[in-house]
Structure 1
Amino acid sequence: MAETTVATPTVDENLSNKILKQVEYYFSDSNFIRDKFLRAESAKNPDGFISIDTIASFNRMKELSTDLQLITDILKKSSRLVVDQDGKMIKRKDPLPENIESEKTLYSKGWPLDTTIEKVEQFFSQFGKVLSVRLRKKQDKSFKGSLHVDFETEDIVTKIIADAPKLDGDKELLFQTYKQFITEKKEEKEKFLSSNPDKKRKATKDLKDETEQEEKEQEEEDKMVTGTILTFAGVGENLHRGNIKEIFSQYGEVLFVGFNTNDTDGNVRFKTADSATRAMEGLTAEKKEFGGKVPTYKILDGEDEKKEWDKIFEMKKNASGKGGKGGKFGKGGKGGKFGKGGKGKFGNKKAKRD
């Protein structure tokens, strides 16, 4: 009798699964309902579609593939998503549930602080299909030892709670439905407020801060809008950020100007890639002088673009802090390239979401 062998998934199949899983997570009940960016994009289309190009520009997607056609072909295989006839847009197949306290979501506590999403997925996959994992974080971004997991069916959650599996064979974990978790949180709040009336205001604020922090974490999926950062090199003297912004704003909405007085080069981040292209083509054709010199231009792409966006994401991550004199990406009082500075003419009061 010939020996039966099991085919090992090819690299392409593995990549396909990763891409499909990532995009299905973006549109999942647990993520989509909390993701203000995606819901805003969906609202722009009467049928709720979102550009696949937009989805493909997200930071995690670019780490998987930059081949838009490949991504589109993979998404057409999804049983949870719908690709339009032109192959340009995508949306959820099913409408959002009215109640986000899904019985398909599990709350678990008692996990080691070095836990990874991959480890959680591996642990729970023995019970059924894992749709997404969300590690709960503290204000300082460190893992707090608890998490939420979305499964394909309610039965999977019920079985896990009943079996109460141990991590690595001996570590006990707490398991609850998401609804039980929310109910207990509300009861704890009510009990605290009833016994500490003088602390009601502070407790309410703390709870609000914690809720906003968790919502922010759900929305913090880095969304890199490709082709929007235009660099320039070789400008003259006595220029400041206001001069730069005024010139480039003729071609579209400018979100950030990366330039300090007496610099000879810098960059501008536009809201759209079309604006960046128009600016580069228009200024190059016009041979526009900056401080008596005609600079050269380049729209960042590839690894250079990724590095620049990594700096932007790091700046946003630290945006809750204050002080200092800033720097190229600082938040200090006098601003700087991509800074939030209070005295900088174009320092942002609030970090914008991409």
Structure 2
Amino acid sequence: MTEEKEITSESNGQENKESNVDEETDLDSAIIRQVEYYFGDVNLPRDKFLREQVKLDDGWVPLEILIKFNRLAKLTTDTEVIAASLLKSTSGLLEVSDDNKKIRRSPEMPLPEMNEERRKELLARTIYAKGFPKDISLDELMKFFKQYDEVENIVMRKYQDRQTKKRIFKGSVFATFKTKEQATKFMEAKDVKYNDTDLIILWQENYLQQKQEEYATRKEKKEKKNKDKDANEEKDDFKLPTGTVLHFTQSNEKMKREDLKESLDTLGEEIAFIDFKVGDPEGWIRFAKENSAKQVAEKIPEGKLRICDTDVVFKLLEGEEEKNYLEKTVEEMAKRRKNQKNFKQNRGKNFKGRQGRKRKQDDNGDATPAKVKAS
């Protein structure tokens, strides 16, 4: 009689279990979806806390631990309700302990290894969608995607508001479908909308590539802008006064800059630079003060001076001629400064390298004495 009761009881339990599956409520579905997400292929590999819990007791995690997770706690903190809901799951991902106090991921469904191949596989079934309301909830997003196919994970893309420091939803998501085929089906759907808003949809890989290209373009523009700014600042540093340049021609192959300077110094204006090399048939003399070349030109009879037994013919640069010469001079001065700066930096590095290098040792292990200059 007792045995018959036990069999009847077991039979009733089986009927109740099948009945529970048929009677799955919205709360059951939400609990199953949330807990299976925690232990799923996408979340578990990156959830450090949960991975540590899984290692403690042959994979079993107490429900008392899980109800501390925010999204599950918003659904319920009643562990009996959670256990009852999970028993209705048909995915086979989770096991519930006999006492309904703990759950674990089924040993028959081991976690895939997260490697490059796995990352590419996830990328291949993940899409980008934009156009959702800023105040939409994750549950509403899940409900939206469910009408297309089973979604394994949804990442609500957010940014931090500078003033409030709060994380604000951008209106776009990354959604990972269960299979590549399901993701493709969604991507091929026409006129995908949320309410009356057309959604912008892309494969995640294409979206990321697009963003990388945009970032590279912005970076290039920024670098060019900074480079142009630096160049303009350098030009401003070398801004030269006008009315300061005399051009000259001469035929003495031995004339030197010193000869020119000695003759022109007698005319009373400070010379900034003489652009001339021995043997050149022409050259330029740039004076330091505004319009000083004009004053010198007025002091040169008929524009000629006798220097080193040669007539040197001078002409004041004006207008476009002067402008072009001064711009070229500024560029050359900036270039020289940059080269000098680079030379000093490289010399400093080389000097440190020589200082830090050990002297070669001789066969006895003693350092070879440094060379001494002969006196």
* TM-score, structure 2 normalization: 0.44
Q: Give 1 or 2 for the bigger CA radius of gyration.
A: 2
Larger relative contact order (C-alpha < 8 A, sep ≥ 6)? 1
